[in-house]
Structure 1
Amino acid sequence: MDDVAITAHSPELTLTSSTHTRMMSDLPPLSAELLNHPVMFSLVEQQQRRGCQASLESVQTAFINAYHSPSVEALISRHREYLPSADFDLIRRSYAFAAVAHEGQRRQSGQPYIDHPIEVAIILLDLRLDTESIAAALLHDVVEDSGVPISVIEQFFGQQVASLVDGVTKLSGYESKSKEEAQAGTYRKLIIASADDPRVVLIKLADRLHNMRTIHATPPQKQQRVARETLEIYAPLAHRLGMWQMKSELEDLAFKTLHPDRYQEIARGLAMRKEARDRIVQKVIAQLKEMLAREGIKAEVTGRSKHIYSIWRKMERKGVPLERIYDQLAVRIIVDDPNNEVGACYQALGVVHGKMNWTPVMQEFDDYIAAPKESSYRSIHTTVILPEGLHCEVQIRSTKMHEEAEHGIAAHWRYKEGFNSRSDRDYENKIRWLRELISWRNETTDREFVDMLRAEFEERVFVFTPKGKIIDLPEGSTPVDFAYRIHSEVGHRCIGAKVNDRMVPLDYQLRNGEIVEILTSKNQRGPSRDWLRFVKTPSARNHIKRYFRRLEREENIIAGREMLEKELKRFGLMQVSFEKLVELAGPTVRSVEDLFYQIGVDDLNERALVQKLLGAQETAPPPSPPAPTQPMARVSASGEIYLEGTGKIASRLARCCNPVFGEPIVGFTTRGRGVTVHRTDCRTIQNLSASERNRLMPVCWGNGSGPNQWFPVPLRIEAWDRVGLWRDISNVIADAGINITDINQGKRWANGRTVLNVTVSLQSMAQLSPLIEKLNRIPDVIDVYRKT
């Protein structure tokens, strides 16, 4: 739906009553029945509210006129070209009903609103979709804009059309929700409906494409919102469904809206080089055509323009100017040999690499025919260096591969009987991710569901099973994500992984082209809660969470407490009030037991909670002084204490707890050695007797630590001993810009487990958490925590 304006109705051609009756009798029975349905009275009232001079007879007359109008005949003519036996009355009836339902409405561009559903239908006609899809495109806004009940659509246009219209209609009942919540609910509804019938998403994408083509007529603020939504949701959705052509246009239109200056700069740069570029491309095309014909390969060779958004992305990713983007020159070879489409593609590759005076760039070679993407995309990509020294990208594919690459799931209408052929493996591969996504619909909120959807749109890595099957995963995925993509039981039984025949830790981030083998236990052992710290895919995360939710509540409470205490121990936080953590956790946590349970089932992340605690400690006011009359002393980063009215007094930082700048601290007045500064949760302070507590004094940190002021922090690292372990640990610490002041090996067990004691110098607590996180990711490191 687009924003609409209401305009006064211009009186239409009025028919005499006898003519009106005769023309009604000429309509097919279902259309005649629709004209006498009570919904027509609703449309009369709707038009009157819009300022139209409407009556039942005028609405019926408008319906009859639209039913026979040149506009609908033009649509039918296009449809007849590829589906001559279609139910054309359904299209006429749909167009006529949409015309009267939208009468009096105009788009913000000033055009009659009916132009929009017509344009959406034309986009679907270009995709050669079925009659029900064209009818639904014409009707897609009548429920939302004109208040037509979906039951009326089902009665007069069929169950399929009603289902499609309902799928693209925004959710009702979200009036009390925020705009973001309502939008998330609508996305969820769209995806669920699309998994059952992909025509829903095709109609929605066509709707969005036309709205983007006419976005200049909308207010600037809306332009920005719609363009961002297009880049974040709709263009990636088209890409995941294999619809390259639609995805490219959506991206360019959104980019032009969001960054008009950058878009024009690139467009001008391309235009300046266009003549020279076209001259070279035409020369390449002529040479290829001649050589392919000489080799007896029947093929079409065309130039292929790169769309502006993809050029900008590559410029940003590589940090280079426009003139350094090599594959601005691109051609495509589409071989025409239905009986030997794969062989003909490789013959054409042989011509490109072996028969031409060009140099292949082997690191730019991808064979998606031998190893199709999980979406079933098939093509050969290669880049060659021309005699002029320019790089030129060459794509090679068959006619059928080209149709599927350009139009994705929509192309299946040209080769299969619609979307109902479950034996069509290529089609099933294209929508499998959709079906996996909706399998979690009953266990996620609308926002969680949309987060899962966004994860599917991230950059992808393509890895192989040992049998050569390609698995498509989001960038940053781990062997655990891979295991759960194979099957939930493989994930639950996973005990290790090999990548290219080499053992890797389970949090290893997979890279393109790697062969992944999952090692499994014969017994059901279940996943580890630690996996939730590093898995990337929502599917893996949800399988793990589902497993733990099915455990007894008491088990999850115990496990949650252990996880929280372990995380607190990492930072030396031994005396933290759990009630304080309940407050920090937010309104969804009502008790300490609830806190432990939510951590146990991963509804609450213990690391994020401890980080929140550390942040609260750094910004918290100093603790209340034990004696109200005692003045507050300030501690410098080097541990020196300054007392107002007295000046500097003898002091030192306690070695038992090694306080770091930003942590809550307290002073203890010693006998003869001045004041020792401890952390407030230090065991020494907690174990003071009542008489000794009188010697405490309130202190707080000064304005900040200087560039040359450091605090020693001892860390205990438990790991499996191996060659290079010390080197890896020291490299991680050095890369963080942190100095090591002391290092020694602690206890070592016979099974190879060892303890390493490392003291590092930090300037503030803000450095500790990222360092511990990085050390924990080193292969064979079991645990890292701060010693107290």
Structure 2
Amino acid sequence: MPKSAAKHSAESLKPSPPPLLPADSEDSQLTLRLREYLKFEDIALVWSAYRFSAAAHEGQMRKSGEPYITHPVSVACILAELHMDVPTLIAALLHDVVEDTGVTKQEVSEQFGKQVAELVDGLSKLDKIEFQSATQAQAENFRKMLLAMSQDVRVILVKLADRLHNMSTLDVMRPEKQRTIARETLEIYAPIANRLGLNAIYQQLEDLSFKYLYPMRYGVISKAILAARGNRKEVVGKILDSLKHRLEEMHIDADITGREKHLYSIYKKMTGKTVTFSQIYDIYGFRVIVKDLPTCYLALGVLHGLYKPIPGKFKDYIAIPKANGYQSLHTTLFGPFGTPIEVQIRSSEMHNIADAGVAAHWLYKTTDAHLTALQQQTHQWLQRLLDIQSESADSLEFLEHFKVDLFPDEVYVFTPKGKIMALPKGATAVDFAYAVHTDIGNRCVAVKINQELAPLRTELHNGDHVEIITAAHSHPNPAWLNYVASGKARAHIRHFLKAMQSSESAHLGERMLNQAVRALHADPATINDTHWQKLLRDYNAKNKEEILTDIGLGKRLNVMVAHQLLAMGEEPFEGQAKQNNKQLGTITIRGSEGMAVQFAQCCRPIPGDPILGFINKDKGLVIHTHDCPAIRKFRVDPEKWLDVEWDPDSKRLFKVNLKLAAANQRGMLAKIAAAIADAGSNIDNVSMESDDSSYTNMHFTVQVENRAHLAELMRRLRKIPDVVRINRVKGAGAEQRIQ
């Protein structure tokens, strides 16, 4: 980088007229856009940043062969169209200088202020996102983007403009690189633009991504639209004239324009509804812009009087705005020749927000800034993503939750106090509970939907009144992950379950370690903090709980940890010969250990069964019956097994599989269910299979306390005259892997 840029003097920041430039240059276009809304002094500041950036990038070229400075100028032009403030424009011009030249953040701060320096720094951290091939690295960079974005949303606005210009100049890249960048844009950047209400940028990003991901489909639809313009020109013109004439008759001042759906939205409609291009009649729509909100509804009534509305095709996004702040009335009418007409009606202010979104009137951080409703919604969304980021265990998991939140076809429901809440399409009562508050989600046990009790997995619909019922000692159920639709709910449930599993595994690990220490003829009480500190350094572990959790989860052998702890004492430990798990005594299984101890699905052990414990990495201690077919080939590895026994005072219920053959008669299932209930057992699952004979095979999963309880249950079932055979099923899942 030339020294002139690094030593850029403060004299250049004094107001001076913008340089005279060729009329067709990007720089001239930037000047024209700046003059639309900035003062002379502000334009001078922007041009001082241009000169600084041009000097820093001197000699650098883009892959297209153009001077590199054309890129930041183009990014600034895009943002100038949104009428962004001066610091944002300066950051756009400087967004690559820290990453690609010798300029430092400190130099930027000295020349243009701390605010600009922070924006540039936030953008510099994101540069590696663009062409990252490794999924894990890409995901980690998106975490960085979120953090920068949560501090100042202008960071992502500049990044979106940067991505838009890069997409428009993607022709010079290799086809594989084009597809990689286009897919990333379609999956992440376009949805972010949509979520922030930047409609124009959102549509351009989608169309450009479509062009490079599916070039042939893009070309076919482009040609079809060009042909349709000529074929439908007369119809569109007639409809436009009739709309204008009727509104003028009713003395409603309106600006009416025809609009064409963008290419990717047409493609999505074709693939989503499996229709051909010729079957899509709403390629063209009409936009009616009036002066204020009341006139929107007046215009709606007039148009419904002109053409009949299609039932079920009216949406009021004014009363209930979209999450990105979008407001408009949408209606579909029966037009002439039976052609459906899509019409959007909105005020001028709503139109500005629909095009520019959060950039339309973003108030930046000041001591007395009053946030608009849109800004509050954007702030809440960013905070929600921050919550997801803090709850996610790793970057890939965060990216998964992030993508879920970026595609919210919204459902609007009401709280008991009448507040409207927007949730992703397919959201259930559990999603609603977490949207209200994390504690409500963690403790929910039931839900009332429209004043009627319903299961927590019930999918919510527009207009539902939802009331969550909680219990103080309730906690998330792993099954919830199968039907939640929001990233926030999924992240909080996983975080809670992992924390609970970690705690339970640490308790189990401590018991296993103590038994290993005793088997080595030592007292666990003799192991002090000094021993643990030395071990933590050797293992590079954060704390004692981490090692105990690893033992409980089977990631570390208790014998090895016991050896190393005892070897770190001041006196040499005698008898450090090789030991194995069979010398460690027996671990007592209470049945209340939670997720740290799991009971194998293949054999479903119950108290009274002879059992063995298998150390399974990540799952912890898995309990099998000693004769389970699934474990035969693994019993040759004694280091993975522990001797376990049942606690005689265990009071919980355990699941067991039963198979019955009974006469194929009316009421037979009811008789069997009654006998099971009379025996003090519960039915967890039931299925039946019939081979068209006079008998039916029934498969039950029932809950019992122990083998004695099971024996009593089976005696009662055998007393039913039409039950001809009953036996306990073991080894049904023997083919499943257990490691």
Q: Fold-level match, TM-score > 0.5?
A: yes
Q: Which residue of 1 aligns with 2:543?
A: none
Q: Does 1:502 align with 2:460?
A: no
Paired with 2:381 and 2:64, the residues of 1 have a C-alpha distance of 38
Kindly indicate whether the alpha-carbon contact (under 8 Å) linking 1:478 and 1:509 is maintained by their aligned counterparts in 2. Answer: yes
Alignment of 1:13-32 (within 5 A): 29-31=10-12
CA offset at residue 457 of structure 1? 1.7
Q: Which residue of 2 aligns with 1:393?
A: 342
Cα distance in 2 for residues equivalent to 1:624 and 1:443:
36
Q: Post-superposition shift, 1:348?
A: 0.6
Of 457, 460, 474 in structure 1, the residue corresponding to residue 424 of structure 2 is: 474
Counterparts in 2 of 1:30 and 1:493: CA distance versus 1, 3 Å: farther
> Which of 194, 203, 206 does residue 158 from structure 2 map onto?
203
Counterparts of 1:438-587 in structure 2, within 5 Å, are 438-444=386-392, 445-466=394-415, 467-521=417-471, 523=472, 525-547=474-496, 554-555=503-504, 562-563=594-595, 568-569=600-601, 572=604, 579=614, 581-582=616-617, 585=618
CA contact (8 A) 1:66 1:99 kept: no
2-structure distance, mates of 1:173, 1:213: 19
Shift of 1:131: 0.7
Shift in Å, 1:213: 0.7
Structure 1 residue aligned with 2:206, among 232, 251, 260?
251
Q: Secondary structure at the match of 1:432?
A: helix
Give unmatched runs, 5+ long, in structure 1.
1-5, 10-19, 34-63, 597-609, 627-712, 717-725, 728-741, 763-770, 773-785
Deviation track 1:747-771 (CA, whole Å, cap 9, x = no partner) reads 2379997566434489xxxxxxxx9
**TM-score between the two structures when normalised by the length of structure 2:** 0.69
Partner residue, 1:126 = 81
Q: Distance in 1 between matches of 2:49 and 2:164?
A: 21
Q: Which of these residues, 278, 286, 309, is aligned with residue 360 of structure 1?
A: 309
Deviation at 1:482, TM superposition (A): 0.8
Corresponding letter in the other structure for 1:108 = K
Distance change in 2, residues 1:312/1:346 (3 Å): same
Q: Is the 8 A contact 2:330 2:345 kept in 1?
A: yes
Q: Deviations over 1:573-620 (max 9, x none)?
A: 8899754632xx4xxx8xx36x99xxxxxxxxxxxxx9xxx9x97xx9
Letter of the 1:348 counterpart: A
Distance 1:362 1:571 in 2: 56
Return the offset for 1:426. Answer: 1.6
Matched, 1:342 2:293: yes
Deviation at 1:529?
4.5
> Which one of the candidate residues 363, 377, 387 is aligned to 2:326?
377
Q: What is the Cα deviation at residue 198 of structure 1?
A: 0.9
| Partner amino acid, structure 1, of 2:295 | A
- In the superposition, relative to structure 1, how do residues 756 and 410 fare at CA in structure 2: closer, same or farther (>3 Å)? closer
Is the partner of 2:125 in helix, strand or coil?
Answer: coil
- Is 1:101–2:56 an aligned residue pair? yes
Letter in 1 for 2:80: L
TM-superposed CA distance for 1:85, in Å, is 5.6
Which residue of the other structure, out of 417, 435, 438, is the alignment partner of 2:383? 435
Describe the SS at the equivalent of 1:412: coil
State the match for 1:87 in structure 2. 42
Give the direction of change, closer, same or farther, for the CA distance of 1:147–1:477 in structure 2 (3 Å limit): farther
Change in CA separation of 1:468 and 1:300 when aligned onto 2, cut-off 3 Å: farther
Contact 2:504 2:595 in 1 (8 A): no
5 Å-filtered alignment, 1:245-324, equals 245-324=200-279
* SS of structure 1 residue aligned to 2:149: helix
Q: Is the 8 A contact 2:10 2:111 kept in 1?
A: no
What is the CA distance between 1:31 and its match in structure 2? 3.4
| Letter in structure 1 aligned against 2:224 | G
Cα distance, 1:166 vs structure 2 = 1.3
Q: Contact 2:505–2:595 at 8 Å: present in 1 too? A: no
Q: Secondary structure at the match of 2:343?
A: strand
The answer to whether the Cα contact below 8 Å between 2:412 and 2:420 also exists between their aligned partners in 1 is yes
SS of the counterpart of 2:446? strand
Structure 1 range deviating more: 398-407 or 553-562: 553-562
> CA offsets, 1:10-44, max 9 Å, x none?
xxxxxxxxxx99xx99x9735389xxxxxxxxxxx
User: What is the CA distance between 1:443 and its match in structure 2?
Assistant: 4.4
1:227, 1:258 within 8 Å by CA — same for their partners in 2?
A: yes
Deviation at 1:87, TM superposition (A): 2.7
- Distance (Å, rounded) in 1 between the aligned partners of 2:230 and 2:385: 47
**Counterpart residue identity of residue 402, structure 2:** L
CA contact (8 A) 1:745 1:755 kept: no
Deviation for aligned residue 1:186: 2.1
Shift, 1:538, TM fit? 2.9
How far apart, in 2, do the equivalents of 1:398 and 1:392 lie? 20
Q: How far is 1:539 from its partner?
A: 1.7
- Work out the CA distance in 2 between the residues paired with 1:382 and 1:180: 42
SS at 1:484 equivalent: helix
Shift of 1:305: 0.5
Aligned position for 1:12 = none
1:609-628 pair list within 5 angstroms: 623=633
- For residues 168 and 203 of structure 1, the distance between their equivalents in structure 2, rounded to whole angstroms, comes to 8
Specify the alignment match of 1:747 in structure 2: 676
Specify the SS of the correspondent of 2:360.
Answer: helix
Distance in 2 (CA, whole Å) between partners of 1:484 and 1:520 is 12
**Contact in 2 for aligned 1:255/1:263 (Cα 8 Å):** yes
More divergent stretch after superposition (455-464 vs 560-569)? 560-569
Deviation at 1:431, TM superposition (A): 3.7
Amino acid of the structure 2 residue aligned with 1:408:
G
Measured against aligned partners, the alpha-carbon deviations of 1:475-534 in whole angstroms (never above 9, x if no partner) come to 33221111111112322332211223332211223334433222234x464444443444
- Choose from 421, 426, 432 the match for 2:374: 426
- Count the aligned residue pairs: 571
Q: In the aligned structure 2, how far is the partner of 1:515 from the partner of 1:743?
A: 40
Alignment check: 8 A CA contact 2:404 2:486 kept = yes
> Is residue 414–residue 463 contact of structure 2 (8 Å, CA) maintained in 1?
no
Q: Secondary structure at the match of 1:360?
A: coil
Q: Distance in 2 between matches of 1:623 and 1:760?
A: 32
Q: Is the 8 A contact 1:133 1:203 kept in 2?
A: yes
The AA in structure 2 aligned to 1:185 is: E
Q: What pairs with 1:202-221 in structure 2 (closer than 5 Å)?
A: 202-221=157-176
CA change 1:787–1:485 in 2 (3 A) is farther
TM-score after normalising by structure 1: 0.65
Following the alignment from structure 2 to structure 1, what is the Cα–Cα distance between the partners of residues 227 and 675? 68
Native 8 Å contact 2:450 2:464 kept in 1: yes
8 A contact 2:387–2:488 mirrored in 1: no
Q: Following the alignment from structure 2 to structure 1, what is the Cα–Cα distance between the partners of residues 13 and 286?
A: 54
CA pair 201-560 structure 1, distance change in 2 beyond 3 A: farther
Inter-partner Cα distance in structure 1 for 2:287 and 2:316: 14
What letter corresponds to residue 443 of structure 2 in structure 1? R
User: Structure 1 pair 214/502, CA: closer, same or farther in 2 (3 Å)?
Assistant: same
Report the CA distance between 1:452 and its aligned residue. 2.1
Q: Which residue of 2 aligns with 1:708?
A: none
Distance 1:75 1:749, change over 3 A: farther
With over 3 angstroms needed to count, the CA separation of the structure-2 counterparts of 1:329 and 1:560, relative to structure 1, is farther
**CA displacement 1:325-370 (0-9 Å, x = unmatched):** 232131011112xxxx22110001001112x1x2211211111111
CA distance in 2: counterparts of 1:273 and 1:552, whole angstroms: 60
Cα displacement (A) at 1:543: 3.0
Q: 1:624 to 1:240 in 2, by over 3 A?
A: closer
**1:193 pairs with 2:160:** no
